[in-house]
Amino acid sequence: MENNDFVCPYCRGQLKPHVKITLAARKKDGTRGMILFNPKLGEYDIYHHPSFKLVDGELLDILCPVCHANLADKTVAKNLAKILMIDEKGEEYQIYFSEIVGMKCTYQIKGDTVEAYGEDAGEYQNYWGVSPRY
């Protein structure tokens, strides 16, 4: 699992250049910063510079740091961003996660198969009809 790659759905730029998923974020006031995410689905420790202050419950725009595309995918539900994960066998999955700071929900999707992670995964249960898997 730690060898999984994560790429932007638009430019296919590598979003995990080293050990963390690296994404750009924009706050409502226009401030931008980088956030590092744990590549293990269901782990929500994040890293960012102390000058880029994040408040639980605030909605961010999540942007590709390579091509700057907005990663929000409103075709499924609001406040979810989408990136792609490629496992060691080359299988590709859509990974959806909340753009709200502190919201712990992640969905791994391939075809009709949905795996949900995180204690807040029930928030979007209606969209995929899945129960959270801890």
Phi, psi of 113, rounded to the nearest 5 degrees: -95, 125
In the numeric block, the tokens 């932007």 are attached to 8
Q: Is 93 helix (H, G, I), strand (E, B) or coil?
A: strand
Minimum Å distance from CB 99 to Zn ion? 16
Residues lying near Zn ion in the complex (CB under 5 A): 8, 10-11, 13, 64, 66-67, 69
Minimum Å distance from CB 83 to Zn ion? 9
Distance from C-alpha of 85 to C-alpha of 100, rounded to nearest angstrom: 21
Q: Which is nearer to Zn ion, 58 or 70 (CB)?
A: 70
Q: Which is nearer to Zn ion, 36 or 130 (CB)?
A: 36
Minimum Å distance from CB 122 to Zn ion? 30
In the numeric block, the tokens 């502190």 are attached to 102
Q: Which is nearer to Zn ion, 5 or 115 (CB)?
A: 5
The closest of 3, 102, 97 to 46, measured between CA atoms, is: 102
Minimum Å distance from CB 66 to Zn ion? 4
Q: Is 17 helix (H, G, I), strand (E, B) or coil?
A: coil
Minimum Å distance from CB 55 to Zn ion? 26
Q: Which is nearer to Zn ion, 13 or 33 (CB)?
A: 13
46 class by beta-carbon count within 10 Å (0-12 exposed, 13-18 middle, 19+ buried): middle
